[in-house]
C-alpha cells in the first residue's frame, strides 16, 4: 500500500472512531457550556434538536448564532436552561428576542469572528459540512462566516456530514484531526424559494441597474429587489461579485457571462461570498466550482477589502429613512426586527472603492400604503443601521435620491421627491418646521 492509500485508510479509520449519533453528542453538553452554531444552512439541526430534547437537564447553556433554523429552544420555558444570543434576529428567533427570552447582540457582521474571539467562550462548535475528501478535509460548504473562528476556538468540534452539502472552494476547510464528533445525515439542505418580483421591486431594480456600469463589482442581498437587479443586468459585461450572500440570481449572471470577475482587483476571476442560501440549483452550481470561493466574514465583509475593488455596487434594503438620510434597517422603533448584518460593511466598502456606489432601497410606503417609509425623523428607539455620513443613494419606486456629498437641505428635497405623492406635502411641511428646507 502506498503512502497516499495509507493516509486515506488512516483518515477513514479516524472517521469511524469519531462517528456518533446526535443524541450521543448532545449528551456531552454540560450546564454552563457555551455553544456556537453557524448561520442558516450551516446549522447542524440534528444536533440542535437533540440538544433541545434534553434542555430540562441543563442550566445556563448559552448558544451564539445568527439566523437560526430550529426554534426548539427559542421559547420562554427554555430560558433557564438554554439561552440564545441572537447576532441577527430572523423569523425563527424574532419572537424570542422581542419577548426577552433570547438576547440580541449588536454587531457589524465583519467583526463577529473578532467578537467571538475576544468576548465569548466556545466550548462546542457545531456545523454542517460536505463529506470528507481523500486528504481528510471537510468544507464548511454554505456557511463559512464566523464558523472557522468558532471551530478554531472550540474545545470540542461537531460536524454534521451531509452529502447534499456542496463542496466549496476557498478558506473553508476543516480537517478530520480537528473534529471530535461526526454526525451523519442525508436530509435535504434547507432551501429558499425564489418569490415572484413585484412591480415595485421591478421599478426599483430598474433604477439601480441603469446606474451600474460594466466592470462593476456587486454585493446583492436577499429578496425581490436584488432578484430584479440581477434580471436587469444580464446584458452587462465584465461584472464581478464580492458579496456576503451567494444567491440564485448570481447563478444567472454567471451563466449569462455578465459576471466573469475579470475587473476585480481582489481575487480576480473569483466570485466571493461567506454564506449561501437558495435553491437546490444554486447548491449544485456551487459544488466543486472553482469560480466561487467562500471565505470567513472578517475577510469578505472587511470594508477595506471590499474597497480594493473598483466600482463596487452595494444594494441593501431598509425599513425607514429620515430626511437627513439616517436609515433604520433593523428595528420597528425600539422593537428589534433583524440586525445590522453586512449592510454597514458594504456601504462603507463602496464608499472606499474608486467609483463605488451604494444603494439603500425601500418601497415608498408600508402597511398597505398607510405609512410613508421616508419620514421626518426616525421612530423613537429606532436603530440607525446606515448613518447619515455613510449613506449614498436611496431608491424607491418613485426614483433615486443622491445623498452623499449633499447638504441637509438638498437631502431633504431629494428624499421628498422620491416619497409617495400622498405624503410629499406632509413631509415638506415637517421639513420646513424643522428648518431642513
pLDDT of residue 2: 63
- The verdict on residue 193 lying in a domain is no
For residues 220-246, average pLDDT: 93
The answer to whether 163 and 188 have CB atoms below 8 angstroms apart is: no
Q: Kindly report the three-state secondary structure assignment for every residue of the chain.
A: CCHHHHHHHHHHHHHHHHECCHHHHHCCCCCCCEEECCCHHHCCHHHHHHHHHCHHHCCCEEEEEECCCCCCCCCHHHCCCEEEEEEECCCCCHHHHHCCCCEECCCCHHHHHHHHHHHCCCCEEEEEECCCCCCCEEECCCECCCHHHHHHHCCEEEEEECCCCCCCEECCEEEHHHCCEEEECCCCCCCCCCCCCCHHHHHHHHHHHHCCCCCCEEEECCCHHHHHHHHHCCCCCCEEEECCEECHHHHHHHHHCCECCCCCCCCCCCEEECEECCCHHHHHHHCCCCCEEECCHHHHCCHHHHCCCCCEEEEEECCEEECCCCEECCEECCEECCCCCCHHHHHHHHHHCCCCEEEEECCCEECCCCEECEECCCCCCCCCCECCCCCCEEEECCEEEECCCCCHHHHHHHHHHHCCHHHHHHHHHHHHHCCCC
Q: Does the global pTM surpass 0.75?
A: yes
Q: Which domain holds residue 75?
A: 3-184
Last residue of a domain, one of 138, 161, 184: 184
Whether residue 230 sits in one domain with residue 338:
yes
Whether 26 and 168 map to the same domain: the answer is yes
pLDDT digits (tens, 9 = 90+) for 340-367: 999 999 999 999 999 999 999 999 999 9
Query: Count of domains in the chain?
Result: 2
What pLDDT is recorded for position 221?
Answer: 80
Residues 295 and 176 reside in one and the same domain: no
Q: Are residues 97 and 157 in the same domain?
A: yes
- Residue 191 lies inside a defined structural domain of this protein: no
Considering the domain architecture, whether residues 59 and 87 belong to the same structural domain is answered as yes
pLDDT for the residue 3: 65
Q: Can you give the CATH number for the domain in which 145 is found? A: 3.40.1080.10
**Chosen domain end from 184, 213, 238:** 184
Catalytic, 244? Answer yes
Residue 24 included in any domain: yes
Number of residues written out for the chain: 437
The answer as to whether 271 is a domain residue is yes
- Taking a C-beta distance cutoff of 8 angstroms, is the pair 217, 311 a contact? yes
Q: Which of 111, 244, 320, 330 is catalytic?
A: 244
* Amino acid 5: pLDDT: 66
Picking from 184, 219, 247, the residue at the C-terminal end of a domain is 184
Residue 190 covered by a domain: no
The answer as to whether 189 is a domain residue is no
Instruction: Tell whether 194 is covered by a domain.
Output: no
Please tell me which residue, 264 or 224, carries the higher pLDDT value. 264
Model confidence over 57-66: pLDDT tens digits? Answer: 999 999 999 9
Mean pLDDT on 375-402: 98
Q: Residue 6 — pLDDT band, cuts 50, 70, 90?
A: low
* Mean pLDDT score of the chain: 96
Task: Report yes or no on 419 lying in a domain.
Answer: yes
Predicted confidence at residue 377, as pLDDT, reads 98
**Residue range 166-223, pLDDT digits in tens:** 999 999 999 999 999 999 999 999 999 988 999 999 999 999 999 999 999 999 987 8
State the average pLDDT over residues 315-343.
Answer: 97
- For residue 1, pLDDT beyond 60: no
CATH number for the domain that contains residue 261: 3.40.1080.20
Q: Are residues 74 and 223 in the same domain?
A: no
What mean pLDDT is predicted for residues 34-39? 98
| Statement to judge: residues 165 and 17 lie in one domain | yes
Distance CA 42, CA 395 (A): 33
Q: 285 with 143, same domain?
A: no
**Do 179 and 209 have their domain in common?**
no
Q: Is 166 in the same domain as 228?
A: no
266 with 391, same domain: the answer is: yes
* Same structural domain, 146 and 234: no
Amino acid at each position: 500500500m502506498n503512502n497516499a492509500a495509507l493516509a486515506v485508510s488512516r483518515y477513514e479509520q479516524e472517521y469511524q472512531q469519531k462517528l456518533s449519533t446526535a443524541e450521543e453528542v448532545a449528551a456531552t453538553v454540560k450546564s454552563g457550556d457555551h455553544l456556537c452554531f453557524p448561520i442558516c444552512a450551516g446549522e447542524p439541526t440534528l444536533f440542535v434538536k437533540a440538544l433541545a430534547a434534553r434542555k430540562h437537564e441543563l442550566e445556563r447553556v448559552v448558544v451564539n448564532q445568527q439566523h437560526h433554523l430550529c426554534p426548539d429552544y427559542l421559547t420562554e420555558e427554555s430560558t433557564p436552561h438554554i439561552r440564545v444570543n441572537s447576532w441577527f434576529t430572523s423569523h425563527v428567533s424574532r419572537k424570542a428576542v422581542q419577548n426577552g427570552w433570547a438576547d440580541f447582540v449588536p454587531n457589524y457582521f465583519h467583526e463577529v469572528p473578532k467578537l467571538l474571539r475576544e468576548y465569548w467562550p466556545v466550548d462546542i462548535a457545531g456545523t454542517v459540512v460536505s463529506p470528507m475528501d481523500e486528504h481528510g478535509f471537510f468544507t464548511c460548504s454554505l456557511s463559512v462566516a464566523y464558523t472557522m473562528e468558532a471551530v478554531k476556538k472550540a474545545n470540542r468540534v461537531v460536524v454534521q456530514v451531509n452529502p447534499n452539502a456542496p463542496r466549496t472552494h476557498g478558506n473553508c476547510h476543516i480537517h478530520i484531526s480537528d473534529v471530535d464528533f461526526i454526525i451523519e445525515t442525508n436530509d435535504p439542505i434547507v432551501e429558499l424559494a425564489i418569490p415572484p418580483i413585484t412591480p415595485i421591486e421591478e421599478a426599483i431594480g430598474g433604477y439601480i441597474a441603469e446606474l451600474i456600469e460594466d466592470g462593476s463589482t456587486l454585493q446583492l442581498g436577499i429578496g425581490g429587489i436584488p432578484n430584479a437587479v440581477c434580471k436587469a443586468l444580464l446584458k452587462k459585461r465584465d461584472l464581478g461579485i464580492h458579496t456576503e450572500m451567494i444567491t440564485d440570481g448570481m447563478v444567472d449572471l454567471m451563466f449569462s457571462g455578465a459576471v466573469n470577475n475579470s475587473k476585480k482587483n481582489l481575487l480576480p476571476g473569483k466570485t466571493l461570498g461567506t454564506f449561501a442560501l437558495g435553491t437546490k440549483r444554486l447548491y449544485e452550481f456551487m459544488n466543486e466550482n472553482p469560480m466561487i470561493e467562500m471565505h470567513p466574514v472578517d475577510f469578505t465583509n472587511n470594508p477595506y477589502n471590499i474597497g480594493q475593488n473598483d466600482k463596487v455596487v452595494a444594494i441593501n434594503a431598509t425599513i425607514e429613512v429620515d430626511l437627513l438620510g439616517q436609515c433604520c434597517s433593523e428595528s420597528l422603533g425600539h422593537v428589534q426586527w433583524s440586525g445590522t448584518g453586512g449592510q454597514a460593511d458594504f456601504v462603507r466598502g463602496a464608499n472606499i472603492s474608486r467609483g463605488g456606489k451604494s444603494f439603500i432601497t425601500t418601497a415608498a410606503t408600508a402597511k398597505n400604503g398607510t405609512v410613508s417609509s421616508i419620514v421626518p425623523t426616525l421612530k423613537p428607539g429606532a436603530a440607525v443601521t446606515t448613518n447619515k455620513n455613510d449613506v449614498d443613494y436611496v431608491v424607491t419606486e418613485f426614483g433615486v435620491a443622491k445623498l452623499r456629498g449633499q447638504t441637509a437641505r438638498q437631502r431633504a428635497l431629494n428624499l421628498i421627491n422620491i416619497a409617495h405623492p400622498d405624503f410629499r406635502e406632509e413631509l415638506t411641511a415637517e421639513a420646513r418646521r424643522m428648518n431642513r428646507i
